[in-house]
Amino acid sequence: MRAIVLESFGGLDSLVYRDMPDPEPLQGHVVIQVKAFGINHAEMHMRRGEWAEAAPVSGIECVGIVTSCPGGEFPVGAKVAALMGGMGRTINGSYAEYTRVPASNVALIESDLSWAELAALPESYATAWTCLFRNLAIEAGQTLVIRGATSSFGTAALNMAVNAGVRVIATTRNPARFDALTALGAERAEIERPDLSTHIEGAKTFDAVLDLVGNSTMLDSLDMVRRGGKVCLAGWLGGLAPIDGFNPLLQMASGVYLTFFGSFVFGSPAFPVSDVPLQRIAHDIAQGRWDAKPSRIFGFDQIREAHRVMEANEAHGKMVVVID
């Protein structure tokens, strides 16, 4: 099979094409013919050597067809989505014509959507759904602030929150994206800034904040919610630097809740992929309840250009790679 291999840590030239043996069947695992996969910031950090782990073949998600499943968890020929379970980190991931994934990290996703459209779903929508409806337990009528809403993750969260009857305030660094956010159903858009809590109307009254900017804004997010409000930290658009000298006693508001979600736990007993209604999400998209089309579609031989666009913050949504 052809695969895109991380030859060394560094720039775009670190991603090279190689012929590799097809993955062998293994009990408890699923071999998938990869039809398409999403592009994620995690893979950029892995390429640069900024992540704790990086497998030779990157890629933390994919959609495709089952070619082998010794344990019988999925029928051969089924359409599936796969995410995490060590993909791209401790085992070879989806930047290849075939991949082998633990069965606990695979979900059926029968749909008439194109492979490109399906590839936009697994990581972004599974993570957003878990943050919204498990960590934040958001409900219809509540008000949610999404920080970093023009990212693929943020757009997925915006789509699902609005569909669930949640009032959403969305932030972005780019005012030219305001109309796009309100078109998706946000009540209003705000310019993202480190001290947003001192400028945003309604601070300290919001029910929840989904913070995708990361450590640089987390403390500020905690100052935005009401007593009993919740903040979920789930992204690092602002970089991976830690919070220096974090002291909850002095820096956290009393009576608010801070929670974290990292998609690397998908497939564990506490966070089964089967808990996420990917099939229903695909159905809702096919029915036109929201627009989840990828912003850019690349061919398999365009991986360096895809990473360049991601690194330059030119994606404006979810980018996917389709394998012909």
Task: Reduce the DSSP state of residue 185 to 3 states and report it.
Answer: coil
What does the pLDDT profile of the chain (324 residues) look like in tens digits? 999 999 999 999 999 999 999 999 999 999 999 999 999 989 999 999 998 789 999 999 999 999 999 999 999 999 999 999 999 999 999 999 999 999 999 999 999 999 999 999 999 999 999 999 999 999 999 999 999 999 989 999 999 999 999 999 999 999 999 999 999 999 999 999 999 999 999 999 999 999 999 999 999 999 999 999 999 999 888 887 888 888 888 888 899 999 999 988 999 988 989 889 999 999 999 998 888 899 999 999 999 999 999 999 888 889 999 998
Query: Which of 49, 22, 41, 19 lies closest to 33 in space, CA to CA?
Result: 22
DSSP conformation class of 24: P
- Residue among 150, 198, 199 at smallest CA distance from 173: 150
Directed axis angle between helix 122-130 and helix 152-163, to 10°?
Answer: 50
What is the predicted pLDDT for the residue at 272? 87
Q: State residue 291's pLDDT score.
A: 83
List phi, psi (to 5°) of 274: -65, -15
Q: Is the pTM of this model over 0.95?
A: no
Distance from the first to the final alpha carbon of the chain: 13
Domains, the chain: 2-120+265-322 (3.90.180.10), 124-261 (3.40.50.720)
Tell me what pLDDT residue 243 has: 86
Cα-to-chain-centroid distance, residue 317: 11
Tokens 């919204």 sit on residue: 132
DSSP state at residue 57: B
